[in-house]
Amino acid sequence: MSALLDLSISEAAPALRQRQLSSVDLTEACLARIEARDPIYRAFVHVAAEQALAAARAADAALAHGEDLGPLHGIPIGVKDLFDTADMPTTYGSDVFSGHRPQADAAVVARLRAGGAVILGKLETYEFAMVGPVFDRSTPPAANPWKPDHFTGGSSSGSAAAVAGGLLRTALGSDTGGSARSPAAYCGVVGFKPTYGALPLDGVFPLSPSFDHVGFLSASVTEALLTFDAISGRAEKLAGNPLPDLTGIRVGYARNWFAVDPQTHPAMLPAMDAAASLFSLLGARVEEIPLPDVSRFEAAGAVIIHAEAYAGHKALMAQHGERYSRKVFQNILSGLLLDETDLETARQAAVRLTGQVDAHFHSGHDVILTANTLTPALPFPHFQTDAAVWTPMRTLAFNVTGHPVFALPAGFHEGLPLGLQLVGPRHGEARLGAIAQAYEAATDFAAIKPPLP
């Protein structure tokens, strides 16, 4: 039965509809693998076995009566514990909300259920999607399936660990500064952040409303697109339209963002240059482009995130500050130092920077290629310090601009994944997804799996 989990959603879905496979079979296989592996990965904070099996039986019955609810009908999926779920605990990764049960599902969770998806349970997240990993919470951080003594990145930590560890094929995450894309890179899976505002955030605990996105972590580009299709409500479906080749595609290679950065791991530069060369071999025209200094995006983004996070948490911290983990409390409190002038200056900078990125798409580039995280995943002891540790990455910029991004595997170094980003114009998910599928199909990274625990 375990072999069922090696089927992609594109393979499982027709088998479900032809009654060659049941959703109950898939769900039981997931639950068995969670029981066997998740004590090592710590991806799930709540497994809803009874509810999942009931949903699977309902999905099978609907298909038996000719009722097809969508691309994830009968497919098991996990949900980051930042999203409200009415039938299971939702703690937002914090002891402040221990035992909390919302009155309603988040909008995207409700859409998943309406589309026949089977919700397996809730996945680990950094506390309030802020910083981590931390070790002064009642829930331990998720572990990286490639090396369980290493971190996953965050804050969609459990979503990445679950997909990389083969517990499921796709999962909901969120992305405010890279929270879906950095764990995708560290864990060797696909991360997808659609255009800002493409999906509703109702029922998702806010970190920074200006930058918060619903995101996905999936075993492949197609499966990320299918998950988006299942909840987007768009008539145009993104999955199933890969480009046969990339002839005529223009790729802007933002090499200046990482090539001379002293924080860039030595393995990253050859991996990124190899990716650029592969695009060229696939027929694309690759040109180096000078994006604005990444520090300008990060400075503006940090001001906006910290100001909005403090505003959102001020009342809660006054009541329950002692229940926050130390590093999260400290980082949110830093927003107290910012005033409206700081915030307005940062917002104006964000508008200018967004225009400078848009200029590359207006000049004819179809996608921008750049690094995701600048290092492989780090071991847990690296984070056992008094202050928060920020690992170098190039993700926050595209929360500032709101462009859609795919995070894709780019290779390995000493058994740990490396990752890149493909960025498209706003609302250009369809073409971006097709280009990402073409790149993925030309590599074998998705076929390489972590060692069994």
Pairing of strands 76-80, 118-123: parallel
Residue 194 confidence class, pLDDT cut points 50, 70, 90: very high
Q: Is the pLDDT of residue 241 over 80?
A: no
Q: Is the pLDDT of residue 286 over 90?
A: yes
pLDDT 10s digits, 4-17 = 989 999 999 999 99
> Please, are residues 112 and 170 in contact by the beta-carbon 8 Å criterion?
no
CATH architecture of 2-232: Alpha-Beta Complex (3.90)
Residues of the chain with CATH 3.90.1300.10: 2-232, 250-446
Q: Is the pLDDT of residue 1 over 80?
A: no
Q: What would the CATH number be for the domain defined by 250-446?
A: 3.90.1300.10
- Distance between start and end Cα atoms, the chain: 18
Q: In the chain, what percentage of residues exceed pLDDT 70?
A: 100
Instruction: Give all strands of the β-sheet with 213-218 in edge-to-edge order.
Output: 44-47, 118-123, 76-80, 170-175, 213-218, 190-193, 405-413, 416-423, 367-371, 250-253, 285-288
Reported as type and span, the H/E element at residue 107 is helix 107-114
Tokens in use for 213? 């996105």
pLDDT 10s digits, 124-169 = 999 999 999 999 999 999 999 999 999 999 999 999 999 999 999 9
pLDDT score for 244: 76
Average pLDDT over residues 384-402: 95
CA distance 31 to 38: 10
Reported as type and span, the H/E element at residue 418 is strand 416-423
Average pLDDT over residues 236-247: 82
Q: Is the pLDDT of residue 293 over 80?
A: yes
CA distance 359 to 290: 11
Average pLDDT over residues 71-78: 98
Q: What predicted TM-score, i.e. pTM, was given to this entire model?
A: 0.97
Residues in the chain: 453
Residue 397 confidence class, pLDDT cut points 50, 70, 90: very high
Q: Is the dihedral of CA 59, 65, 68, 69 positive or negative?
A: negative
CA distance 307 to 340: 9
Instruction: Give the catalytic positions in this structure.
Output: 80, 155, 179
Q: Is the pLDDT of residue 235 over 80?
A: no
Q: Is the pLDDT of residue 242 over 90?
A: no
Q: At what angle do helices 23-41 and 157-164 cross, to 10 degrees?
A: 110
